[in-house]
Amino acid sequence: MKNIALIARRELQSYLRTMSGYIIIAVVLFAVGLAFNGFAVPGTAKKSSEVLADFFTCSSVLTMVCAVFLSMRLIAEERQTGTVALLYSSPIHDYEIVLGKFVASFLFLCVFFLSTAYMPALVAVYGKVSIGHILTGYFGLMLVGATSLAIGTFGSALVRSQVLAAVLSGMMCLALTIAWLLGKVTDRPLTDIVVGLAWWGHFDPFRTGLIHLKHVAYFVLVTFLSLFAATRVLEARRWS
């Protein structure tokens, strides 16, 4: 646990000292603002709960984009600069490296979540929404963000280039998104399998203020498998 905390602190300091993370958050936040004004707000017949649900819909997709770009540097940068050799030579397990970097990226992603809080606050001020709905929606966004960061960590462990890591991670996230659309054109029992793999069907209840254990389990499982895969990649490269 101590080694994980040390790596997380080191990685978080790297995020805070460089401008790249802030630029990514600023760009995605701008996109969220545009989406909020373009898709969530229009329509006078909309209830406040519907506006809030549309906000979480827009934010979920852009959270995934933000997470992919934040995670592309986690391990690929270490290999690109050669500092990964220092990590390998230190008395640190591979899973501690992966978890430390994942925790740091998730904490920095929370900065993005905090920066979007004014939008549901505006909905709450000018309409009637429950605090539980807002908290549930953000809990769902955190699950989407954690899953995307874990996938991004795996993608970053596979290649040396940060750009390739972003592309590879984006393709994996896109595959989990397209699965939802494929489920609409396939027949049973394949439909249930494909839809079950898609993240959107598991996030949909959160945006409306509902929490189901099976949907939480999906995000936790995908996050665990992605981090486990990243750890195995590091182990293989350590001895190659």
What's the rounded Cα separation, in Å, for the pair 17 and 199?
A: 33
How far is 66 from 41, CA to CA, in rounded Å?
22
Residue 177 near residue 198, CB atoms below 8 Å:
yes
pLDDT in tens, 153-175: 999 988 888 899 999 999 998 88
Mean pLDDT of 122-150: 91
Task: Indicate the number of domains in the chain.
Answer: 1
What is the tens place of the pLDDT at every residue in 38-49?
A: 776 665 567 878
- pLDDT for res 92: 80
Assign 2 a pLDDT band (cuts: 50, 70, 90). confident
Computed on alpha carbons and rounded to an integer, the radius of gyration of the chain in Å comes to: 19
pLDDT of residue 239: 62
Structure letter (DSSP) for residue 36: I
State the Cα–Cα distance between residues 143 and 56, nearest whole angstrom.
13
Could you identify the residue written with the tokens 């229009």? 42
Give the angle 224-227-228 at the CA atoms, nearest 5°.
80
CA–CA separation, 229 and 233 (whole Å) = 6
| 232 Rama sector, left if φ>0, alpha if ψ -120 to 50, beta otherwise | alpha
pLDDT, tens digit, for every residue of 176-192? 888 767 766 666 666 67
Taking the model in full, what pTM does it have?
0.90
How far is the C-alpha of 8 from the C-alpha of 40, rounded, in Å?
36
Domain that holds residue 154: 2-238
Q: What does the pLDDT look like over 84-120, one tens digit per residue?
A: 777 777 778 888 889 999 999 999 999 999 999 988 8
